Amino acid sequence: MDKDSSKLQPDTIAIRGGYQRSHENEHSEAMFLTSSYVFENAATAAKYFSNELQGNVYSRYTNPTVRSFEQRLAAMEEGEQCVATASGMAAALSVIMAFLQSGDHVVCSQDVFGSTRVMMDKYITKFGVTVTYVPLANLDAWRSAIQPNTKMMFCETPSNPMSEIADLEALSAIAKQSDALFVVDNCFCTPVLQKPLLWGADIVVHSATKYIDGQGRCLGGAVVGSAELMEQVVGFLRAAGPTLSAFNAWVFLKGLETLRVRMQAHSANAAALAEWLNAHPKVTKVYYAGLPDHAGHELAKKQQSDFGGVVSFCVNGGQEAAWQVIDSTKMLSLTANLGDTKTTIVHPATTTHGRLSSEARAAAGIVDGLIRVAVGLEDIIDIKADLELGLSAL
């Protein structure tokens, strides 16, 4: 990076932020595929290991390509520091391991990503941390769930698959009042559409696997926040090892460069599809915060610059009908992934949210007739035509 990146516009930061050329003067960012680094002599090695000298020692600790991705994403989120992780789940885990201990309590939105919920319910509780789930958009429920030992509030907005919207400013006020860390999973919006730190969140977590990659190739994640908080996350990562590989960091670094144009195109396609589905006789309800009658529409307009690429809808006839729609499409990819150039379709109740109890699923509104579409970048004419094939099978 030749110029002070804080003086550059967001689109420029996404393309040029966080990169220092190596002595080879490469134009495209270099990929440093190396597990370790050599030292000039034994005395220097000792200095690196005792932290008297700062530098690369081992890629579980630092790697130049991973560092570039971290610096670029931190600048895009307007956070001080970013710590890259092996997956989105590793990002959430690292935050939990860094800041919680036995006896602590977490308040979490009930419709967080399925694995986040399984991690909390099955594993975090094993270490004496308790979790209370609340409806994402119900501020009173958040307030009354707070206990004297509440150390963290965790939410995801917009939610998956219902596109519910959290009031980030109000939630951060509740967190501050109760001395809890406010953590926001910003996977669905990316910093292009929403910057939770600017609304008072303490920490942002990402699954870079989704829109940051953008083409469904690599797994990865990231945590962003103040230098002080990130130091603790780095400590866990270095000791425990869920670090991001240099190869994946390189893919994500390139992904960030096209993120804005992709997010705008995903959002435009999704908005067009949501409107079309809303008028479709076989569709009973559409969930997309871009629709004016969606409960979170005004809030989304306030804190997001667009509505993102995920649209969910219901058909009559429960699971059988939903499966029939899905199986009658020809082009859409039947996969749980999202944030890909290719449009994906999935039945949440029997896949992404299948591990939840039926009560938890019902509370999150994930009924058997619900279908989620993560709208890609194909021509909207072809996406609609394929879904029409599916819906006309009913």
Ligand X SMILES: *Cc1c(COP(=O)(O)O)cnc(C)c1O
Instruction: Please report, as ranges, the residues that interact with ligand X according to CB under 6 A.
Output: 87-89, 113, 115-116, 156, 160, 185, 187-188, 207, 209-210, 219, 221
Q: Shortest Cβ distance from residue 23 to ligand X (Å)? A: 34
CA distance linking residue 53 with residue 60, whole number of Å? 17
Q: Is 184 exposed, middle or buried (0-12, 13-18, 19+ CB in 10 A)?
A: buried
Q: Which is nearer to ligand X, 143 or 355 (CB)?
A: 355
Q: Shortest Cβ distance from residue 303 to ligand X (Å)? A: 17
Q: Using only C-alpha atoms, what is the Rg of the chain?
A: 21
Q: Which is nearer to ligand X, 95 or 274 (CB)?
A: 95
CA 54 to chain centre: 31
Q: Which is nearer to ligand X, 274 or 374 (CB)?
A: 374
Give the SS3 label for residue 308.
Answer: coil
Q: Shortest Cβ distance from residue 380 to ligand X (Å)? A: 23
Q: How many residues does the chain have?
A: 394
CB 219 within 8 A of CB 190: no
Residues 6+ apart with CB under 8 A from 375: 266, 269, 270, 273, 309, 310, 311, 343, 383
Cis peptide before 64 (omega within 30 of 0): no
Give the SS3 label for residue 10.
Answer: helix
Residue 338 identity:
L
The CB-nearest residue to ligand X is 88
Q: Which is nearer to ligand X, 88 or 369 (CB)?
A: 88
Q: Which is nearer to ligand X, 221 or 290 (CB)?
A: 221
Q: Which two tokens stand for residue 192?
A: 């292009």
CB 337 within 8 A of CB 344: yes
Q: Which two tokens stand for residue 210?
A: 């989704």
Main-chain phi, psi angles of 344, to 5 degrees? -120, 150
Q: Shortest Cβ distance from residue 152 to ligand X (Å)? A: 16
Q: Shortest Cβ distance from residue 83 to ligand X (Å)? A: 15
Q: Could you give the C-alpha distances from 270 to 275, 294, 344, in angstroms and in order?
A: 9, 14, 12
Q: Shortest Cβ distance from residue 191 to ligand X (Å)? A: 14
Q: Which is nearer to ligand X, 201 or 391 (CB)?
A: 201
Q: Shortest Cβ distance from residue 188 to ligand X (Å)? A: 6
Q: Shortest Cβ distance from residue 16 to ligand X (Å)? A: 26
Q: Which is nearer to ligand X, 18 or 221 (CB)?
A: 221
CA 85 to chain centre: 12
CB 277 within 8 A of CB 387: yes
Q: Which is nearer to ligand X, 17 or 339 (CB)?
A: 339
Q: Shortest Cβ distance from residue 54 to ligand X (Å)? A: 30
Residue 97 identity:
M
Q: Which is nearer to ligand X, 87 or 303 (CB)?
A: 87
Q: Which of 200, 242, 203 is nearest to 59 (CA)?
A: 242
Q: Which is nearer to ligand X, 5 or 304 (CB)?
A: 304
Q: Shortest Cβ distance from residue 349 to ligand X (Å)? A: 17
CA distance linking residue 190 with residue 204, whole number of Å? 10
